Chains A and B, each alone.
Chain A
Amino acid sequence: MATTERLTATESTADTILRVRDATVSFEMDRGTARVLNGVDLDVKRREILGVVGESGSGKSMLASAMLDAVEEPGRLTGEIIYYPEEGEPVDVLNLSKAELKRLRWEEISMVFQGALSSFNPTMSVRGHFTETLRAHDADVEAGMERARELLSDLYLDPERVLDSYPHELSGGMSQRALIALSLVLEPNVLVMDEPTAALDLLMQRSILALLSDLQEKYDLTVVFITHDLPLVAGLADRLAVMYAFELVERGPAAELIRDAAHPYTRALLKAVPNLDAPLSTMRSIEGSAPDPVNIPDGCSYASRCPLADDQCLREDPGGYGAGPEHPVSCHHWRRADEAVPFETEVGE
């Protein structure tokens, strides 16, 4: 794929912790093969917070699952995912034995799902979840529980009370925080979070983000934060990656991307988000709908909704153009995007 070479040129791989190349998830269906993740390339850097943003059904969750090789049957994940531990050999995530994969998950790369309440076994106490996880990984349960208590208090929870509770006795915010603590109990280096705040109220979303930022510093974490809520993650993330129709269309430093998004879709997305500072009249929804995963168009998948689309867009899949040194964008006409989709008022923080 032509994109790949150009990308490696613009993005440094020196302190990469997770390298995703041409990751594709396909489902065989009666009416054809659905690609719900289509040739995604992404580098996650050590100790950064990477925000992955996209609308519902854009393949965000698939990307998250792919990083742990946890795509569910009958989905098929192809491509290459390399994990670089601080010391030792790089790990080829997709070619691990069962035992190696078990060690990678939760010990190196951990995951938090949306809907924390449904992530717990309803008939087991929260403590049971911690101890069984420690036991399953042959960890020292005593020391592990000590760490669990510390994590829980880092998340402003009363450790003993939460550990003795059953999942249904916790509020939404509490169970989400307990789940974050559970995901960190084996001291992973990477934490992949799939819409961790989706079911929570705005206040709880903000406070969890603040806690996450503290945790990331304290435990030297690399965080991949997946959300549909661009402004939510904009203040937290070091870098942002924008997904559209099962592909990454743009990524770059968070501030730069918010201020000067190069892809028409990112710009439209920013304009579609309600903002207290911007008058309602400047808000626009994006016309049209995302393509069918069975029938992804040949050219640019955003072309049918893009004001800049021309013949070239319909013919050629746009590769990674460099809108900045660390800012690849998949749009033939990225230079004209700011004219075509202008921000009437300044958007962002």
Chain B
Amino acid sequence: MNYIVKRTAQAVFTVFAVITLSFVIIRLLPGGPADYLRAQLIQRSGGSLTQEQINQRIASQTNIAVDEPLYVQYVDYMASILRGDFGTSVWYSNEPVIAVLGPAIPWTVFLMATSLFIAFVLGVTLGAFMAYREGSGFDVGSTGVSLLTNSVPYYVIALLLLTFLGYRMELFPTGGQYASETTPGLNLEFVLSALHHGALPILSLVLASFGGWALNMRGNSIRVLGEDYLRVARLRGLPERRIALRYVGRNAILPMYTGLLIAIGFMFGGSIILEEIFAYPGVGYYMIQAINARDYPVMMGAFILITVAVTIGVFIADVTYGWIDPRAEGGGTRESY
């Protein structure tokens, strides 16, 4: 329990530090967002705006009141972030950042969670079978395929899929999240359309990452298969199914659990290039748009969102690891960790 409290405090501190960092970047960097916005405002207005009006604009966009003392600016900034107010976008006609990024989050979660799940299940299953047939043709072949697909970056696969399946064969749409003629909601056309649009991005992530999971699982399983407790389990007459799931599977997946949750955290970050390639308006897509348009408030919002996601992923991994591995219970407070 004590451990969970400690770990929660750590996670909260990480998020806090990241937001502080984003404040520092916006406020203090020479030529940073605040200065950039100021220059833009002056240029655009052609000098018609007073200094005060400019400061006000900057304040509303970045949550930083430039003419206040530094500590007041900082407290105000933190307070508005905590309220979920990330400022207003420069590029998207002064909409609040949260209104730009908010609707994008579910789409990114959908893409990343689906592909992560498929890649993990596929990889773990394949890896387990490879381990059971270690040294066979199936094992050697699958190892080769896994290594090959794992070493090709997902954006290369994405481009290939887009070129061939998207443009040449026109089997899949080349952009967007769903067909415009469908109405978002729980109706079959919309769901099918969303799956159709998400298929290629998901496929490219799955293809690029299942091999890593498979090789990981294969190695872990082979290690577990050589353990004494497996031999004892067989002698005790346990059914092969139970041995495969409760003995080999459980003990082999265990070390991959942390990796899985960190991958969940990173899925926001990983979305940037993928969503750009498929013109898929998720968090990553808007982040790239914001970078190109020098839309600092949106950039910062996406930056904070991604960091928070990673922190939460790692936090869940840490706290739940004790449940799935009794040896780690209490996060090392016991002597035999």
Contact = CB atoms under 8 A, between A and B. Distances in A.
B140 interface: no
A119 B228 contact: yes
A121 B254 CA distance: 13
B239 A123 contact: no
A72 B231 CA distance: 9
A136 B237 contact: yes
Interface string A159-176: 000000010110000000
B251 interface: yes
A121 B237 contact: no
A76 interface: no
A115 B228 contact: yes
Interface stretch (B14-22, B70-78, B161-169, B242-250): B242-250
Contacts of A244: none
A123 B326 contact: yes
A329 to B, nearest CB: 33
Nearest to A107: B237
Interface in B33-60: none
Contacts of B324: 123
A124 interface: yes
A143 B252 CA distance: 33
A169 B236 CA distance: 22
A133 B236 contact: yes
A115 B227 CA distance: 11
A105 interface: yes
Contacts of A132: 236, 238, 242, 246
Contacts of A103: 237
Given A72-B231, A169-B334, A123 B236 contact: no
B229 A168 contact: no
Given A166-B326, A168-B326, A121 B246 contact: yes
Contacts of B250: 121, 123
A284 interface: no
A118 B233 CA distance: 11
Nearest to A123: B250
Interface string A124-161: 11000000110011000000000000000000000000
Contacts, number: 64
A125 B327 CA distance: 11
B336 interface: yes
Contacts of B327: 122-123, 166, 168
B247 A121 contact: yes
A225 interface: no
A136 B242 CA distance: 10
A169 B328 CA distance: 11
B228 A118 contact: yes
Nearest to B231: A72
Interface residues of A, number: 25
Nearest to A166: B326
Contact of A105 (B228, B237, B242, B246): B237
Contacts of B239: 136
B9 interface: no
Contacts of A68: 235
A113 B232 contact: yes
Contact of B235 (A70, A115, A123, A166): A70
Contact of A124 (B227, B236, B246, B336): B246
Contacts of A119: 228-229, 232
Nearest to A103: B237
Contacts of A111: 235
A120 interface: yes
Nearest to A124: B246
Contacts of B229: 118-122
B95 interface: no
Contacts of A70: 231, 235
Given A132-B242, A136-B236, A166-B326, A113 B251 contact: no
B227 to A, nearest CB: 7
B67 interface: no
A118 B336 CA distance: 14
B235 A105 contact: yes
A102 interface: yes
B235 A121 contact: no
Contacts of B237: 102-103, 105-106, 133, 136-137
B170 interface: no
B247 to A, nearest CB: 6
13 contacts: A72-B231, A106-B236, A106-B237, A113-B228, A113-B232, A115-B228, A118-B229, A121-B233, A121-B246, A123-B251, A123-B327, A125-B326, A166-B326
- 10 closest A-B pairs by CB: A118-B228, A102-B237, A166-B326, A119-B232, A168-B336, A136-B237, A136-B238, A133-B236, A121-B229, A168-B327
Interface of A: 68, 70, 72, 102-103, 105-106, 111, 113, 115, 118-125, 132-133, 136-137, 166, 168-169
Given A113-B231, A122-B326, 13 more contacts: A72-B231, A105-B235, A105-B236, A120-B232, A121-B233, A122-B229, A125-B326, A132-B236, A132-B238, A133-B236, A133-B237, A136-B238, A166-B326
